[in-house]
Amino acid sequence: MSKLFSELTVGGVTFKNRAWVSPMCQYSAVEGVIQDWHAVHYGSLITGGAGLVMVEASAVSAEGRISPRCAGIWTDQQAQVWAEIPRFAQRFGVKTGIQLAHAGRKASTNVPWDKPGSVAPSAGGWQTIAPSAIAFDGYAAPREMTLDEIEELKRSLKECPVPAVILNMHNEAAKGLGEKK
Ligand SMILES: Cc1cc2nc3c(=O)[nH]c(=O)nc-3n(C[C@H](O)[C@H](O)[C@H](O)COP(=O)(O)O)c2cc1C
């Protein structure tokens, strides 16, 4: 018999099956805050019975978003809205995870259904930053980050409000994630 629908324990976290949902950007957030679109999207994946729903790449700073419509988790408000997803998932025994992200030189892009390339600062985009000032093909050149900015980004990844969300939801999977911080 296939093992797909059997439990799996990884790092002390038990998943009810092995059908897991990859993170998928929805390009539907407003100022990094997820919306009713996300409630329906993730709600349907959760009620669909996946063992793990990994939510989309979520920027730990405003300039780390892939596009102006990407989700974030750099403010407490963003984190509190995100927290509704694991709260709902818990009722169905579904584990959730979040992909913390910084898009670097691939940030400030148009949403994929619009057109390729960068969104200019004058049109709601921003000056991107990256470890070097080398552009990704077809995108605006980033500014090279200072060493302080790299340290600050490391801090943002480590200290973004995910643990606060986790503490609120008493979720076995999330507790594991919190401990790894
Ligand atoms: C609409 C869409 C959005 C995606 N967003 C992300 C993302 O936020 N983070 C990520 O690591 N991968 C992202 N991906 C890649 C997927 O998570 C996945 O790795 C990819 O679709 C390959 O999976 P597969 O081999 O099962 O098809 C995205 C893919 C799609 C189709």
CATH number, domain at 74?
3.20.20.70
Residue 94 lies in a domain: yes
Task: Please give the Cα distance from 41 to 39 (Å, whole number).
Answer: 6
Q: How many CB atoms sit inside 10 A of residue 123's CB?
A: 10
Task: Determine the pLDDT at residue 180.
Answer: 42
Mind giving me the DSSP string for the chain?
--STTS-EEETTEEES-S-EEPP------BTTB--HHHHHHHHHHHHTT-SEEEEEEEESSGGG-SSTT--B-SSHHHHHHHTHHHHHHHTTT-EEEEEEE--GGG-SB--TTT-SSBPPGGGT----EESSSPPPTTSPPPEEPPHHHHHHHHHHHHHSSHHHHHHHHT-HHHHHHHHH-
Taking CA atoms only, the protein residue closest to ligand 1 atom 20 is 22
Is 69 part of a structural domain of the chain?
Answer: yes
The 10s digit of each residue's pLDDT in 158-181 is 988 887 666 554 444 445 444 443
pLDDT given for residue 161 in this prediction: 83
Q: Is residue 53 part of a domain?
A: yes
Whether the model clears a pTM of 0.85, i.e. scores above it, the answer is yes
141 lies in a domain? Answer: yes
Kindly state if the Cβ of 28 falls inside 6 Å of ligand 1. Answer: no
- Does residue 34's CB lie within 6 angstroms of at least one atom of ligand 1? no
Compute, in angstroms, the gap from residue 53 CA to the centroid of ligand 1: 12
- Measure 22 CA to ligand 1 centroid, in angstroms: 6
- Residue 166: per-residue pLDDT: 61
Number of structural domains in the chain: 1
pLDDT under 50: residue ranges of the chain? 169-174, 176-181
In a domain, 3, yes or no: no
In a domain, 179, yes or no: no
Q: What is the pLDDT of residue 117?
A: 97
| pLDDT value of position 170 | 42
- Quick check: is 73 in a domain? yes
Specify if 103 maps to a domain: yes
Q: What residue numbers bound the domain in which 153 lies?
A: 8-172
In 3D, which of 180, 171, 168 has the Cα closest to residue 91? 171
